[in-house]
Structures are given as C-alpha cells and as structure tokens.
C-alpha cells in the first residue's frame, strides 16, 4: 500500500483513503434523494441541488427508475434522437460531466459503454419506495388489516403525478416512457385509495374514508364507481345532502361531457340514500369476519359468521366462491352487512374452491351436504334458513330432504332441479349448448370480461368485472371448475322435491339466460302441491346473487324473517 501511495498523485491518494475510511464507516455514505412524484427535484445529504440542465435531470431520473445500467448508445438516442450517434454521444458525455459535478463523482457508476446508479451511495427514490410498498402489500391483499399502514404511507408518497410539469420537448421516446410510468403509477394509486376507503367503510369509519375516496375520484372524474363510493360514504357519515349533491354532479358530468346517463345501479343507490335506506341510523357496519376452518372428514372447510340475530342464514354459493374476495365488492359487502343487522349470516366455501381444501376431484351433492352439516355444527346452529343460488340450489334441496330438522326455511334463487335438458325436462341447456358455454367461460376465466349471462345490464361496469375476474382466479382454476360443472350436468333432484315439507320461496329472474325461468317455476310448482311455497318472478337484472342490488337484498331479508316465522 505504501508503494502505491508513493507513486500516486495526491488527489488519487485522497480518493483511495476516502473509500477505505468509508468501508470502515469512518466517513458517512453519501445520501441522494430523488423526488419524482410532482415536480422532479434532487437532494444530496439533505441539501437541494439545481442540476441546471433539463436533460441532466431526465438522465438521472431514467437511470434511477429503471435501476439497471443502460448503454451509452441507448441513452444518447433516447435524449438526443435528432442528432447523429457521434453528436448524441458527445452531448451525453457533456451532460454526464455536469451531472457528476453537481451531484458528485460517486453517485453514478460509469464505464466506457454503460451508465447506472452506483451501489456505493444511499439512493432514495420515492417511486421505488412506493412500488416496494405495493409489492409487499398489493391491493389484492385486502382485507388484510396490517396492509393499511403500508397503503397509507404509499398514498402519502404520491404527492402529485409522476414528474408533473416536466418534459423533454425534442424526445418523443422519453415523453412516452414518462407517460406510461405515470399512468401505471396512477392506476396503482387508484387501487390503493379504493382499498383504503373500503377498509374504513367496512370498519365503520366512513369519515376517515372520505378523503381517500375524493382523491380516487380526482384521478378520473368520469369513473362512476368512484362517484358511487363517495355517495355511500357521505350517507354513512351522516352527510345526506353531500351524498345527493355528489349524485347530481355525477349526472351532470356524464351528461355534459359524455352524453350518457348514470348506470341503473347508481340511480338505485341515489334513491336508497334519498329515501333513508342508507344512512347512519339504518346501517350498522359489521367488521369483516375472520375466516375459520372446520374438518369435514379429511377436508378442511373455510367458513365465516357475521351478525348475531336470532335466525341463522346459511348462504350456499354456486360453482365458485372465495370468502375474502367477496368483501372487496362494495355492493356485496353492503348486502351482507344489511342481512347481518337482523340475522346471523353463515358463509362457507365448498370443498375444492375458495379457501377450502383443493381436493383433486369434483365434489358431489353428498359431499356438499356433509360440509354444510359440518359448518352448522361448528357454529352451533340448530336450525337455519338456507339461501341457495345457482348451483347451490340443488345442494340446498338435497340438504332439506335429508336433514329437515336442521332447516327453518329455504330460499332458492336462479337455480334448477336437473343439470341437462331431456324430453321430460326441456328447461336446461342441451349438451351442445353446455359445451359451448363452458368453452367460452374457460376462455375468459380470470379475465375482466363482462359475463352477460349473469348481469347483462352491468356490461360496462369495468370495476365489477375486474372484481369478478379476481374471484374466479382465486376461487378456482379452469380445470377445477370444469370438473364442478361436469358434475352439474349429471344433477337430477326432481325425485326429492315432493319430500320437502318446509316453507320455501323460489325466486327467479324472468329473463335469466343462465338458468331458465321455467326451471324455477318447475321447482316451485312441484313443491307447491304441499301448499308450502311461493314463486316470485323478478324483473331485476341480476342473474347471480353476487350482483344483487339493494332492493333485492332488502327483499331477501324480509323473506328470511317471514320463513322463520312460518316454520
């Protein structure tokens, strides 16, 4: 080492000594802070730096965000696209000289062909920290409560759009990069703000949710679901006038700017707020229930309970479900909370789907019947009203026939008694129709495609289909659900209908494209021989109970009350 010092100029010796001292922590590491949310700015050791050149700021921003070394040729072409390669590299060299002079030689790692951020400095970047918090706690983790702090901190980092007000006028490629970065970050922020607002809403803290909902709406003033969320939050916080004004503002914007009217679900929410159906006095928010497990044989079944009313309501889902994803739908969460005001609501995922064990075989009616009985025993429910929709209808019918002593009443919605069409049952799909529908379903599984069979009037509600796509992805897989629907083809519970001796109400949508209304009539008319049931043909748009509107939920609650009194 002494021989090296003797041969080196003083400046080189000082640099070598500086690095040695830094390694043994006698000299603090340089800290660079780069703020790219809002107008870009740079700090070195907490002191602001004016880089002077716009392209110097563009260069350090691009290197910091990408995090990997970039070739000099690429960077020269990115920032000086109209110059020839020699001139562009010369411009890059001069800009690099100014940049290193301003921020320090040790900030960038420079080689003959590449440039990058040096690992020898502490380089803090707000955008990087924002993305790290998203990777640790993506919005898909909802309703995980300890993600709230990460989301709050991420939202606080986002002070304004990415590099707001900054541009490199003669570089279209840089401007395009900046645009796509900005849009991606805006979308991530929108997802975080939505989940924060939903978190506070579901925890009965609507006033704390309102600022997040306002920020979310400011990202896109034409986003109707954001208007709906803010309307509901105002109503839950006791600000009915503000909720009604929000609807009027939504209607004005859509009409003046897009020439359209609000969606039916928005109008219905407005009417519910105006009439007092949704208000602090009528809505007592129930916290998201914990998921629990019970063993049904050698299979673990996931279940939840909410509410503490005198009547138990067991909801028997269709071909797919996921106990925790359902709470990410504001409409569905509101529906369950409404029912939980008066009843103890019991939810479960069938074996093979959702949070229950994946079993490697398609569950039969008997499997689901055993699982229902196990869940009722686990929550100490002696008798319950069953609400079976879609494929949950045959499950509920079989349970009623086998265990009538455990059932107070039965509600069926959009279901059937036989899976495939036959001469004596012309109301189901043919083999060809079923195969065609199944091919389509599997082709869009997990994608945000409108499922017009289930909710035709909400085809344009992109947020709804994003949520439903997530539930399909996490609830099952294409191969798994194919096995479930193949079992459905073989279902035939017609022979047990006449043995059911409990109060029953059959609900069906008149224009149901997935389960024909005649199939609902058949069930009701077969049981009605005993004078124990009614048939209710609805004109509502929702075919699947996941998409119920407020009026339908209130109706279900009233039906549960009536059936429990009749039993």
Residue found by looking up tokens 């562009």 in the block: 88
Of 109, 114, 118, 107, which is closest to residue 73 (Cα–Cα)?
Answer: 114
Cβ-proximal residues to 213 (8 Å cutoff; 6+ apart), any chain? 193, 197, 226, 229, 230, 233
Least confident stretch, 301-305, 329-333, 459-463, 494-498: 459-463
Write phi, then psi, for 431 (nearest 5 degrees). -55, -45
**Does 270 map to a domain?**
no
Residue 6, pLDDT above cutoff 50: no
pLDDT of residue 531: 36
Beta strands in 368-462 (DSSP E): 384-389, 407-413
- Mean pLDDT for 136-147 is 70
Q: Output the CA torsion sign for 35, 36, 37, 39.
A: positive
- The segment with the largest mean pLDDT, out of 2-11, 99-108, 289-298, is 289-298
Residue 59 · residue 66 · CB < 8 Å: no
CA distance 170 to 492: 70
pLDDT of residue 528: 55
**Does 457 map to a domain?**
yes
Least confident stretch, 5-19, 139-153, 366-380, 486-500: 5-19
- Mean pLDDT for 312-328 is 91
- Mean pLDDT for 484-500 is 89
Q: Pick the last residue of a domain from 203, 225, 255.
A: 203
Q: C-alpha distances in angstroms, 310 versus 340, 344, 383, 564?
A: 11, 7, 11, 10
**Does 111 map to a domain?**
yes
Q: How confident is the model at residue 143 (pLDDT cuts 50, 70, 90)?
A: low
For helices 172-202 and 72-79, angle between their N-to-C axes, nearest 10 degrees: 90
State whether 184 and 297 are in the same domain: no
**Number of domains the chain is built from:** 2
Residue 70, pLDDT above cutoff 90: yes
State whether 190 and 297 are in the same domain: no
State whether 179 and 311 are in the same domain: no
pLDDT in tens, 305-314: 998 888 999 9
Residue 403, pLDDT above cutoff 90: yes
pLDDT in tens, 359-376: 888 899 999 999 999 999
**Does 268 map to a domain?**
no
Structure tokens at 420: 């495939």
CATH number of the domain at 34, please: 1.10.10.10
State whether 165 and 306 are in the same domain: no
pLDDT of residue 450: 67
**Does 181 map to a domain?**
yes
- Mean pLDDT for 57-85 is 93
- Mean pLDDT for 324-334 is 83
pLDDT of residue 336: 85
Q: Pick the last residue of a domain from 163, 185, 203.
A: 203
**Does 443 map to a domain?**
yes
Q: Pick the last residue of a domain from 173, 203, 233.
A: 203
State whether 197 and 315 are in the same domain: no
Torsion (CA) 195, 199, 205, 209 in degrees, nearest 10: -10
Mean pLDDT (the chain, rounded): 84
CA angle, residues 547, 552, 557, in degrees to nearest 5: 120
Of 535, 529, 532, which is closest to residue 501 (Cα–Cα)?
Answer: 532
- pTM for the full model? 0.64
CA distance 77 to 83: 8
pLDDT in tens, 517-556: 888 888 888 875 433 444 454 444 444 445 455 555 555 6
**Does 190 map to a domain?**
yes
CA distance 313 to 293: 18
pLDDT of residue 404: 93
At CB < 8 A and 24+ separation, what contacts does 237-240 make? 237/206, 237/207, 237/210, 237/280, 238/279, 238/280, 240/273, 240/274, 240/276, 240/279
Residue 516, pLDDT above cutoff 50: yes
Q: Output the CA torsion sign for 294, 297, 300, 306.
A: negative
> Domain of 461?
292-566
pLDDT above 70 covers a percentage of the chain that reads: 84
pLDDT of residue 174: 95
State whether 379 and 524 are in the same domain: yes
pLDDT of residue 558: 65
CA distance 494 to 372: 21
**Does 88 map to a domain?**
yes
CATH number of the domain at 477, please: 3.40.50.1820
């Amino acid at each position: 080492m002494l021989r090296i010092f003797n041969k080196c100029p003083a400046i080189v010796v000082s640099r070598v000594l500086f690095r040695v001292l830094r390694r043994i922590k006698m000299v603090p590491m340089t800290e660079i802070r780069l703020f790219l949310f809002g107008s870009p700015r740079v700090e070195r050791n907490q002191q602001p730096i004016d880089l002077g050149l716009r392209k110097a700021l563009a260069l350090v921003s691009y290197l910091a965000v990408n995090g990997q070394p970039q070739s000099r040729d690429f960077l020269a072409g990115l920032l000086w696209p109209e110059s020839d390669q020699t001139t562009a590299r010369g411009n890059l060299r001069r800009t690099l000289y100014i940049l290193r002079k301003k921020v320090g030689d040790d900030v960038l790692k420079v080689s003959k062909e590449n440039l990058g951020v040096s690992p020898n400095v502490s380089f803090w970047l707000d955008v990087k920290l924002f993305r790290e918090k998203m990777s640790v706690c993506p919005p898909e983790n909802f309703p995980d409560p300890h993600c709230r702090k990460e989301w709050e901190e991420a939202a606080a980092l986002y002070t304004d759009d990415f590099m707001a007000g900054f541009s490199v006028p003669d570089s279209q490629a840089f401007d395009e990069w900046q645009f796509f970065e900005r849009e991606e970050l805006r979308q991530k922020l929108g997802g975080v703000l939505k989940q924060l607002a939903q978190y506070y809403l579901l925890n009965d803290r609507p006033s704390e949710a309102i600022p997040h909902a306002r920020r979310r709406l400011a990202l896109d003033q034409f986003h109707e679901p954001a208007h709906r969320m803010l309307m509901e939050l105002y109503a839950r916080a006791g600000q009915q006038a503000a909720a009604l004004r929000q609807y009027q503002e939504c209607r004005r914007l859509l009409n003046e700017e897009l020439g359209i009217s609000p969606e039916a679900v928005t109008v219905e929410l407005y009417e519910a707020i105006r009439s007092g159906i949704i208000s602090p006095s009528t809505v007592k928010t129930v916290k998201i229930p914990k998921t629990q497990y019970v063993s049904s044989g050698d299979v673990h079944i996931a279940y939840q309970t909410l509410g503490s009313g005198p009547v138990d309501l067991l909801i028997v889902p269709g071909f797919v479900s996921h106990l925790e994803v359902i709470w990410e739908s504001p409409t569905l969460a509101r529906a369950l909370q409404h029912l939980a005001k008066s009843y103890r609501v019991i939810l479960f995922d069938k074996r093979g789907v959702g949070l229950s064990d994946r079993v490697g075989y398609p569950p039969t009616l008997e499997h689901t019947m055993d699982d229902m009985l196990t869940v009722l025993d686990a929550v100490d429910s002696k008798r319950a009203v069953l609400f079976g929709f879609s494929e949950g209808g045959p499950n509920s019918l079989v349970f009623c026939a086998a265990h009538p002593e455990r059932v107070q009443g039965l509600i069926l919605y959009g279901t059937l008694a036989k899976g495939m069409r036959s001469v004596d049952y012309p109301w189901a799909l043919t083999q060809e129709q079923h195969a065609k529908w199944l091919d389509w379903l599997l082709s869009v599984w997990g994608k945000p495609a409108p499922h017009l069979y289930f909710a035709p009037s909400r085809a344009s509600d992109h947020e709804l289909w994003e949520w439903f796509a997530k539930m399909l992805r996490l609830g099952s897989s294409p191969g798994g659900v194919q096995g479930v629907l193949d079992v459905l083809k073989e279902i035939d519970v017609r022979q047990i209908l006449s043995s059911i001796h409990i109060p029953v109400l059959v609900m069906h949508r008149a224009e149901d494209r997935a389960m024909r209304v005649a199939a609902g009539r058949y069930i009701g008319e077969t049981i009605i021989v005993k004078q124990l049931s009614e048939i209710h043909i609805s004109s509502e748009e929702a075919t699947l109970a996941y998409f119920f509107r407020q009026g339908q939920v209130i109706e279900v609650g009233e039906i549960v009350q009536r059936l429990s009194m009749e039993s």
